[in-house]
Amino acid sequence: MSMPMSRVDLVTGLRLSERHGATAVFRILLCCLSCLGLSPHASAGTDEYAALRRRMVETQLKRPGRDITHAGVLKAMAEVPRHEFVPPAQRKYAYEDGPLPIGYDQTISQPYVVAFMTEKLDPKPTDRVLEIGTGSGYQAAVLSPLVAEVYSIEIVEPLGQRAQADLQRLGYGNVQVRIGDGYRGWPEAAPFDAIIATSAPEHVPPPLVDQLKDGGRLVIPLGPAYEQYLYVFKKQGGKLDRQAVLPVRFVPMTGEVLRGKAP
C-alpha cells in the first residue's frame, strides 16, 4: 500500500501546478485533498498560525471547566484561520482567549464562545442554518464544514461586504451573506433547521420563531447589556422550550428590534 500524501506535499504540489499552469495536475491534487477529507481552505493548517490554533483548541476549548467535546467543532476550530477574519493590526492576538474589535463598534467573539455556541447548536451535515449577525464572518466559517448551507445576515453594510469577500476568498462556498436587518430573518430561504444569533436582543424576534422548523434549535443571547444570558431553544409543536446555559456579553441587536415592532 502506498503511503498517503502529506499536507506539505499537497500544498507544494498545488503551488508548482499553479506556477507551471499544469491544470490537470492541479485538479488531481484537489481530488487528493478531497479524498483526505480536506478542503482547499482547510490546508491553511500548514500556515504559521497552525500551532497557535492547536494550542487554542487544547488550552481554551478542551480545558476542564470548558470541555468542548464535539469532534466536528474541535476540528473546525483547529482549521479555520481566525486571523483572516480580524483586521491586520489584530492578527497577532487572533488566537488569544478573548474577543477582538473588527470596526464599526463590533467584535469577533472569543474563540471559546464561538465553539460553545456551535456545539450547543448541535450542527448536522444536512442542516440549513441561519446566522443573525455575520460580523467578521468567522462564526459562519466555523459552521461551514459542519452543515449543508449557512445563510448569514449583517446589518452593517461594510462589515457584511468584507465578510462576504473574505468567505469567498477562503473557499467557504456554502455560505451566503445578505446585508439587512437580522430581526426579520431570511423568509424566502426558510424554514431553517437551526438559527444562531451573535447579537443580543431583549426578546426572541417572532420572525425567527416562524422561520425555525419544528424540532429546530435556536441559540441566541438575550437581555440588556448588563445582564445577558445565552439561551438554547428547541421548537416543539410551534412553541419554544428554553434553557439558559451561559452568562455572556454581546453587542446589542439593532434595527427593527429597537423599535419593538414586528415586520
> Looking at this protein, which amino acid is placed at residue 139?
Q
Distance (Å, rounded) from C-alpha 87 to C-alpha 38? 26
CB 213, CB 192: distance < 8 Å: yes
What order of strands is seen across the sheet that includes strand 175-179? 175-179, 149-154, 128-132, 192-197, 212-222, 228-236, 239-248
A 10 A CB-CB count for 225 gives: 11
Of 202, 239, 193, the C-alpha closest to 220 is 202
Active site residue 109: yes
A 10 A CB-CB count for 244 gives: 11
CB 134, CB 159: distance < 8 Å: yes
Mention every residue, 6+ apart, whose C-beta is less than 8 A from residue 239.
Answer: none
Of 195, 198, 215, the C-alpha closest to 206 is 195
Backbone angles phi, psi at 24, to 5 degrees: -60, -45
Task: Please identify which of the residues 109, 136, 144, 199 carries the catalytic annotation.
Answer: 109
What is the chain's length?
A: 263
Tell me 58's DSSP state. I
25: left (phi over 0), alpha (psi -120 to 50) or beta: alpha
**Residues designated as active site:** 109
